[in-house]
Amino acid sequence: MRLEGKRAIVTGGGSGFGAGIVRRFLAEGAEVMIADIDRDAARGVAAEFGGHAQEVDVSNADSVAAMVAAAEDAMGGVDILVNNAGITHLPTPMEEIAEDEFDRVFAVNCKSVYLTARALVPRLKAQGSGAILNIASTAGVSPRPRLNWYNASKGWMITATRAMAVELAPAGIRVNALNPVAGETPLLKRFLGEDTPEMRAKFLSTIPLGRFSTPEDLANAALYLCSDEASMITGVCMEVDGGRCI
């Protein structure tokens, strides 16, 4: 019960890494809002494991503000925010990515962090405590060819995490990030371009531990960084990547 009494929002909580984090947080005693653009997916996780389902478009200011207001109504406040929602583009030469696709990647992966901070940080400052966890990527540390603008968006998130940590520390708010390698999530096919045994083997050959990351891997790391056990840790961008970035 390492999160007993804590109230958390997990964006992109309806599937993949987000759903894994939701399940672990609930098991450790937290009250959790499962926020996802896919309302049915959020409701499915809530029905199976508990928590509060909330539809949200993290790239839209009004939708994010409504999510935070709904969390306060449902849980009486927020102690933990996990910015997990994210998208990518298909492996493509950088100059061939359409402008609207570029804009969507940066809106979901980057602007969302700004919007959630704008909506939630004043509340965390008022209570003098809080933990924000951004789910970035090894792509922001060791970029892969043909995923250029996704790589750049995750590099932005890593820098934003460190900048937020420095600014918010005096207010008692910790900000950290996780950098997962690709895992068994709905985004895997888009990272690979095509999900074939050959493509998987090629990708796995770059991971020293020889396997993809799992929602459980991310949940374990998220649990630590969002718990009071990590009360002296802020500005850390932790690789959960089986050695990919060594």
Comparing C-alpha atoms, which of 25, 44, 72, 18 is closest to residue 186? 18
- Alpha-carbon separation of residue 23 from 31, 69, 217, 220 (angstroms): 11, 23, 12, 11
Q: Annotated active-site positions, please? A: 150
Which residues sit opposite 178 in a β-bridge? 135, 238
Comparing C-alpha atoms, which of 226, 220, 169 is closest to residue 6? 226
6 burial type by CB count under 10 A (0-12 exposed, 13-18 middle, 19+ buried):
buried
* Cα torsion through 133, 135, 140, 142, rounded to 10: 110
Both tokens of residue 94?
């950088």
